[in-house]
Amino acid sequence: MSANVVTKTAGPSGSASSRTGRSFPTAFTILFGLIAFVAVLTWIVPAGQYNRVMNEQLKKEVPVPGTYHAVGSNPQRLRDVLLAPIAGLYDPKTEKARAIDVALFVLVIGGFLAVVTKTGAIDAGIGRVTAALRGREIWMIPILMALFALGGTTYGMAEESLAFYALVIPVVLAAGYDAVTAVAIILLGAGIGTLGSTINPFATVIASNAAQIPFTEGLGLRLVILGLGWLACVLYVMRYAMRVKADPSRSLVADMKQENEEYFLKGKQGVAMVELTRTRAVVLVIFGLTFAVMIWGVSVAGWWMGEMSALFLGAAILVGLVARMGEKVLTSTFVDGARDLLGVALIIGVARGVVVLMDEGKITDTVLEWSARGVSHLSSVAFVNVVYWVEVLLSLFVPSSSGLAVLSMPIMAPLADLAASSRHLIVTAFQSANGLVNLVNPTFAVVMGALAIGRVGYDRWLRFMGPLLLLLTAIISVALSIGAWR
């Protein structure tokens, strides 16, 4: 689905004018503002670094506790600010890929979805689903959120979830709900799974390894957080969805209702009347199998963005052959679909640019060192809660769960011994904080990409998430405190 068509109410980043006429900055403006803010910090915050050693199990360099030292400053200037989004995608100095693989995956997904949509299979499938669920549409929410949470808790479903929005959004809109509901089903579903990670290799396993403990330690507490968090999210989304269906004017995107229906449903109110021919049925089977193979590849075969992009490219070609599109129609449709998601791909690079400037300005380790000093000599309960909030702060600038785990766990975990706390609580505090922040984090490309695809303004997403964030924070804090007290 397109995310870069600029209208009076929505832009490429999912920004939108409010009902009062006041506008909220687009995602691009928000992210560039954060980049500029970090650049200013590099002139104020002292530069420093830890010594690092190679962790053979993680295959990454990790900081060594107690080795923080001042280094020469490297304040970031206007040139660096402008280069940051470019380096966010690909660093020309080191020839190191940063987020270009994710951006290319998004473009390929756009092409694949356009080809499938061209066949009419999506319209026919939506019609069948809505007809089958008529009167029971609300149960889509817990079922789908459970599936996405399973992906989040087991293998850290994040960037790959972007592939599902164009599939779920039309179904949810056809069922009488709104785009916020559709985005919440996927973003909150996968997000709460990651927040309550159990065997997620990109959060729990890496963090436990860096903390030098088995990843199974603390599993019971994490399961409690996962269960309570998932239940809170499901009830919250269901309550909002029922309210919107009963009174569409209460939707946070009510002013975009007609526009979104025309955009995602192509203005077809009679989607159920689209005939499900044999060809379209075969296309839907290919469509479903493609996602199934992607999940298998990520969770079992160790695939990442390159392999997933190749999968969807091959699936698009196969769909074109099955539907007898012809070479010109297939290629032009694919290119048009990729063009529709160009805005999302660009957002991913800009979001990564914030982290690039912190690293280049050599202030990332300084922030970590200051945080470590602030949590020392506290009681066990106070310690684990303060660590949680420290990780919340760090997550704003380092949204990657694996990156933050490698950065902070070698420093924070040894402090737990001094506070007579358990290291597994520090791991749980880390992944809970990172998972919570990444439900709304503007520096997390998955959040901004999802909102762009769903055409939901960032300000409206914050309004939707506000009460839920407070509820989830209370659940996490109580769980951590009970774990530390015991």
Residue owning tokens 């687009």:
26
In a domain, 416, yes or no: yes
The pLDDT of residue 4 is 35
Evaluate whether residue 212 is within a structural domain. yes
Residue at 22 is within a domain:
no
Residue pLDDT, tens place only, 44-93: 999 999 888 887 766 677 788 888 899 999 999 999 999 888 888 877 66
Give tens-digit pLDDT for 123-157. Answer: 677 667 667 777 788 988 998 899 889 888 877 77
The DSSP code for 301 is S
- The SS3 assignment for 23 reads strand
Q: Is the pLDDT of residue 12 over 50?
A: no
Q: Evaluate if residue 98 carries a pLDDT over 80.
A: no
CA dist list (Å): 272 to 125, 131, 171, 227: 8, 7, 11, 36
In a domain, 158, yes or no: yes
Q: Which of 124-138, 174-188, 292-306 has the highest mean pLDDT?
A: 174-188
Mean residue pLDDT across the chain: 83
Query: What are the phi and psi torsion angles at 58 (to 5°)?
Result: -80, -20
The encoded tokens of residue 461 equal 């997403």
Residues in the chain: 486
Task: Give a yes or no: residue 35 inside a domain.
Answer: yes
Print the domain residue range for 431. 27-485
End-to-end CA gap in the chain? 49
Instruction: Tell me how many degrees the CA angle 401-404-410 measures, rounded to the nearest 5.
Output: 125
How deeply is 246 buried, as exposed, middle or buried, from its count of CB atoms within 10 A (0-12, 13-18, 19+)?
exposed
pTM attached to this predicted model: 0.71
d(CA 190, CA 94): 33
Residue 18 counted as domain residue: no
Residue 15 in any domain: the answer is no
Confidence check: pLDDT of 257 > 50: yes
Q: What is the pLDDT of residues 376-403, one digit of tens each?
A: 677 888 889 999 998 998 888 888 787 7
Residue 344 has pLDDT above 80, yes or no: no
Mean pLDDT confidence for 153-178: 83
Q: How far apart are CA 18 and CA 252, in angstroms?
A: 9
Domain count, the chain: 1
Minimum mean pLDDT range among 313-317, 329-333, 449-453: 449-453
Q: Report yes or no: 381 and 481 within 8 Å, Cβ to Cβ.
A: yes
Residue type, 301: A
H helices present in 300-379, as ranges: 305-322, 327-340, 342-360, 364-375
Residue 7 lies in a domain: no
Return d(Cα 483, Cα 318) in angstroms, integer. 52
Query: Please, are residues 475 and 229 in contact by the beta-carbon 8 Å criterion?
Result: yes
